A and B are shown apart, each in its own frame.
Chain A
């Protein structure tokens, strides 16, 4: 089972590459909804990264951090969407 824990380093590296691709879209995006989509996807990838990091270092507090971060980012995305459609 220890080889799975070693595999996590490869996984963290490759998922960081995916996160950097979303950061490219976040910087480059032509319109504001593009940036909102990129922020949403970056949140999603960060939650996966937090779960894997908590699993790798055996610190289970990271799972609770991932859960609370997901819920707060959801509230943020809803507020951003309300602002973009002009209701805020």
Chain B
């Protein structure tokens, strides 16, 4: 089937972005840039990896019509939805906590949020 090339592309995109997120988490200089790199890249990569599984499940459902494949696809879709809802909220909470606990950005010259809250 032609969808197997689609699955390869999705798995490749997911692996690339998850790896880039991990490298960014390791290499960037302070908390905010690490959060910026890692959260966005890993969310994108996780969505594409799960989309590969969904594509595989619906292709198998179309080919042999077993209901277990429908279960695989639908549960992975629910996992994607929960990932999309919870991941940005968690990242925002960590960034707010980092600013309130007094971590400054590296080489920052101006901090507008601290001026506003004063």
| Chain A residues in the interface with B (C-beta under 8 A) | 1, 3-4, 7, 11, 14-15, 17-19, 21-22, 24-25, 31-34, 36-38, 40-41, 44-45, 47-48, 51-52, 54-55, 58, 60, 63-64, 66-67, 70-71, 74, 77-78, 80-86
Docked complex Cα distance between A38 and B39 (Å): 10
Q: Which residue in chain B gives the minimum CB-CB distance to A67?
A: B79
Q: Which residue in chain B gives the minimum CB-CB distance to A61?
A: B75
Contacts of A40 in B (CB 8 A): 38-39, 90-91, 94
Q: Are B71 and A37 in contact, CB atoms less than 8 angstroms apart?
A: no
Known: A44-B43, A85-B96. A63 touches B75 (CB 8 A): yes
Known: A22-B25, A74-B90. A7 touches B11 (CB 8 A): yes
Q: Are A55 and B90 in contact, CB atoms less than 8 angstroms apart?
A: no
Does B61 sit at the interface, judged by CB under 8 A? no
Contacts of B4 in A (CB 8 A): 1, 3-4
